[in-house]
Structure 1
Amino acid sequence: MMDNRINLLVIDDDDINIFIIKKIVEKTGYNVNMVSKANGLLAIDHLKATMGQETFPHLILIDINMPVLNGWEFLETYEELNITQRVDMYMLSSSVYENDIEKAKTYAKVKGFISKPLSIERLIELFKLLEQ
């Protein structure tokens, strides 16, 4: 990672969840540049704008249920972009449906499914995985 800064993109339309994640990020002690987008379409626009830049996300946390472009639609659109930069993606959802967890496994780019709320320990784990 460039200058040990982690670029985190959170795609979630829930302001409270974004606030909580920001607080958790601050407590990790990592140098994190966090950007949040309220839906998948805004996230796709952000990725297009930062492609090849040092601000391109290293880690993306994706909510499933959002307006405009939901988490699954975001993933479908992302795959069409043919991005070659390494990005670790995780579904971050309050969904308890087994089919959502299984569906997440069908996307090669998705490394896992995290149930909300995100914990500081889990986020630190994800940050450490980026260093490998």
Structure 2
Amino acid sequence: MMANKINLLVIDDDDINIFIIKKIVEKTGYNVNMVAKANGLMAIDYLKTTMDEENFPHLVLIDINMPVLNGWEFLDAYAELNINKRVDMYMLSSSVYENDIEKAKTYLKVRGFISKPLSIERLIELFKQLELQN
């Protein structure tokens, strides 16, 4: 496994959703360092200070609708950082709009669109994909 630890960054302004994801992470059995940020700007600031390999996220789950910087604006700001590290990003949203799903496909860094709520099965699947890449 990835240095025996998976770094997960969750960008979501909903405290209840963060709590649920934290509980799901605990049930996966994986060694996960989960960091949650309430909006895209906080996530960008966090990433700027976390460039070392040990703590940089392997997986980022991004909500679309957030204050300050929404999910799309986060992705645009992330692209401007010119980070050359491998990171799997997924949009995690309650949006059922087809245009959001299609828009997610236009971002090279975004590997997929996950509808809320996140299931333990889906999270384990994402963790297994990370293991296969390393």
Calculate the TM-score normalised by the size of structure 1: 0.98
Measured against aligned partners, the alpha-carbon deviations of 1:50-89 in whole angstroms (never above 9, x if no partner) come to: 0134100000000000000000000000001111110000
Distance 1:35 1:74 in 2: 16
Equivalent position of 1:128 in the other structure: 128
- In the alignment, does 2:12 pair up with 1:12? yes
What is the aligned residue count?
132
**What's the secondary structure of 1:129's corresponding residue?**
helix
* d(CA) in 1 for partners of 2:68, 2:126: 27
Q: Which amino acid aligns with 2:29?
A: G
Counterpart-to-counterpart distance in 2, 1:105 and 1:3 = 30
Paired residue secondary structure (1:50): coil
In structure 2, what is the Cα distance between the partners aligned to 1:20 and 1:34?
Answer: 12
> Does the 8 A contact of 1:89 with 1:112 survive in 2?
yes
Structure 1 segment 78-117 matched on structure 2, within 5 A: 78-117=78-117
Distance 1:84 1:124 in 2: 25
Runs of 4+ in 1 over 3 A off after TM superposition: none
The answer for the alignment partner of 1:56 in structure 2 is 56
Partner of 2:66: 66
Which secondary structure does the structure 1 equivalent of 2:49 belong to?
A: helix
Counterparts of 2:53 and 2:86 in 1: how far apart (Å)? 13
Cα RMSD of the aligned pairs, angstroms, is 0.8
> Are the counterparts in 1 of residues 2 and 131 from structure 2 also a CA contact under 8 Å?
no
Matched residues in 1 for 2:2 and 2:122: separation?
Answer: 22
Q: Is the 1:12–1:36 Cα contact (8 Å) retained in structure 2? A: yes
Percent same amino acid at aligned positions? Answer: 86
TM-score computed with the length of structure 2 as normaliser: 0.96
